[in-house]
Amino acid sequence: MGGKTQRETLPIPIPGVFLVLMPTNQHHSQQLRFSVIGLEHIHGEIMTQGLLDAGALLSHVFDDDPIKVAAFCRKFPRAEAALSEQQLLDDNSLHLIVSASIPNLRGPLSTRVLRSGKDFLSAKPPFTTLDQLDEARRVTKDTGRKFFVFYSERVHVRSALMAGEMINSGRLGKVVQVLCLAPHRLSRAARPDWFFDPEQSGGILCDIGSHQFEQILSYGGIQSATLNYAMTANRSVPEHPGFEDFGEASITGNNGVSGYIRVDWLTPDGLGVWGDVRTVILGTKGTLEIRKYTDVAREGTPDHLYLVDQDGEHHLRPDPAMPLTYFSELINDCLHRTETAMTQEHAFLAAELALQAQVEARKR
């Protein structure tokens, strides 16, 4: 017979698990001012809203497409439409530029932004080539500016944050493996042309995979890693032969932790959300599964965790009021030159592994 099944909602007295509930709108000694360049992905709006909720001040927005700019300004009426990118680079009142431009344009844009004396927040993937990553490492070192990446699947999901707290508490023992499954819905008709061009999008392991490599590094406590295997394929989009709708990769961390990712654009239309994204963490004392966006054929709600340890079987859920602190921490880092939201090398290493996997992937 199986162990006792428990259903719990945090905050609850789980030994060793501590969730610090911080306000999302912290009071800083000065208000961070930011503008947006590039509106090719919905993450641009998500990052904007996150910064506003955390107390930042939105100044301007620029994109080559006036229709996108008009829609953005309707959603964020305090934003003013800039006449050019250069107008924002020359604006010394800005602390930060946010971008969700076409992926292959983000790295070059970051160089211009950082050299203008501002920090940079990019949607993922931040780069599409290893040369772009190398340039960003040089420029951040030369300028002392910060390059942030919005790895939303971990930093902006309550169940993912709760999982990190449980790992840090020791409840799972030593982490042995982190397994990430990240299916996405293709929504073919709604995709722009650049999406199907790997030169512009970066490819599936570079794009979706960057989220997963970041989680493996975080949950596995990994400082460096070796790529063991990578593969990509196109199984369902013959009209775009260079496109990839499936990818997988395996790494081993410097501490021996194993990491595996599977990414795809094959979510069936019958699923109620865009993807049944799951992360499974195997430890020496327990196994934890995160079902981030849905619990298939059950409740259809996000943020479920399933833990099995020596005490039994547990269905855990974070408090829905648990604040998401990434953007508040990012503001603090911009204003006070700290590294609380994410270290610079961690952000770059996740991108490096994704790029390396993309370059070395066997095509099938």
Backbone φ/ψ region at 101: left (φ over 0), alpha (ψ -120 to 50), beta: beta
The domain boundary, picked from 150, 174, 199, lies at: 150
Which residues are bridge partners to 145 per DSSP?
Answer: none
Structural domain tally of the chain? 2
Q: What is the CATH number of the domain that holds 273?
A: 3.30.360.10
For residue 308, being part of any structural domain is answered with yes
pTM: 0.92
For residue 58, being part of any structural domain is answered with yes
Residues 196 and 273 in one domain: yes
Query: In this structure, are residues 37 and 62 in contact, taking their beta carbons and an 8 Å threshold?
Result: yes
Residue 36 in tokens: 């947006």
For residue 27, being part of any structural domain is answered with no
Query: In this structure, are residues 50 and 156 in contact, taking their beta carbons and an 8 Å threshold?
Result: yes
Across 291-303, b (16+ Cβ under 10 Å) vs e yields bbbbbeeeeeebb
Residues 127 and 158 in one domain: no
Number of other residues whose CB lies within 10 A of the CB of residue 1 = 3
Residues 342-356, mean pLDDT to the nearest whole number: 98
- pLDDT at position 300 is 86
- pLDDT at position 229 is 98
Q: What is the C-alpha separation between 300 and 273, in angstroms, rounded?
A: 8
Number of other residues whose CB lies within 10 A of the CB of residue 364 = 10
Quick one: DSSP state of residue 324? -
Residues 125-148, mean pLDDT to the nearest whole number: 98
pLDDT in tens, 140-184: 999 999 999 999 999 999 999 999 999 999 999 999 999 999 999
Residues 87 and 132 in one domain: yes
Query: In this structure, are residues 288 and 305 in contact, taking their beta carbons and an 8 Å threshold?
Result: yes
> 167 is in which domain, residue-wise?
9-16+154-326+354-363
For residue 270, being part of any structural domain is answered with yes
Q: How confident is the model at residue 29 (pLDDT cuts 50, 70, 90)?
A: low
pLDDT in tens, 225-259: 999 999 999 999 999 999 999 999 999 999 999 99
Q: How confident is the model at residue 219 (pLDDT cuts 50, 70, 90)?
A: very high
Q: What is the C-alpha separation between 61 and 54, in angstroms, rounded?
A: 19
Residues 162 and 298 in one domain: yes
Residue 138 in tokens: 């040089």
- pLDDT at position 341 is 98
Residues 100-106, mean pLDDT to the nearest whole number: 98
Query: In this structure, are residues 253 and 219 in contact, taking their beta carbons and an 8 Å threshold?
Result: no
